[in-house]
């Protein structure tokens, strides 16, 4: 891996972030400014923390930022439940996006484990 754009978690996070932005730009979801902005920030945080941690160029710092990114995956999943409960998105939309966030979280966990064994 030579640049953060090569990291699968970042690539999948980028797709998730775009999907979150699209799903929050219409209907009732677009008018719930608090939840809309928070879930957007959390999805942006996933890829931002992967990128920032990678650019720190030390394994310890990278791991630290990967944990932040992993936490943001959980935050997105929790907020998707709220959006579903409020009727902003369907159960199937929520499930699909939650599965994506969970997959990214698992990839990040594997990356943390891999880096940790090196140091």
Across residues 86-94, what is the average pLDDT?
98
What does DSSP assign to residue 6? G
Task: Write the CA distances from 9 to 57, 77, 81, 89, integer angstroms.
Answer: 17, 16, 22, 24
Handedness of CA 87, 22, 68, 115 (dihedral sign): positive
Q: Where are the alpha helices (DSSP H) in the chain?
A: 8-23, 27-31, 33-55, 59-85, 91-118
Rounded to two decimals, the pTM is: 0.96
Question: Residues 3-60: pLDDT tens digits?
Answer: 999 999 999 999 999 999 999 999 999 999 999 999 999 999 999 999 999 999 899 9
């Amino acid at each position: 891996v030579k640049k953060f754009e090569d990291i699968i978690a970042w690539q999948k996070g980028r797709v998730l972030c775009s999907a979150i932005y699209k799903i929050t730009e219409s209907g009732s979801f677009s008018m719930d400014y608090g939840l809309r902005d928070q879930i957007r920030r959390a999805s942006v945080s996933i890829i931002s923390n992967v990128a920032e941690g990678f650019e720190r160029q030390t394994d310890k710092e990278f791991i630290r930022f990967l944990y932040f990114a992993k936490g943001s995956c959980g935050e997105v999943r929790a907020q998707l439940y709220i959006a579903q409960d409020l009727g902003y998105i369907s159960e199937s939309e929520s499930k699909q996006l939650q599965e994506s966030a969970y997959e990214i979280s698992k990839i990040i966990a594997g990356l943390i484990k891999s880096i940790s064994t090196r140091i």
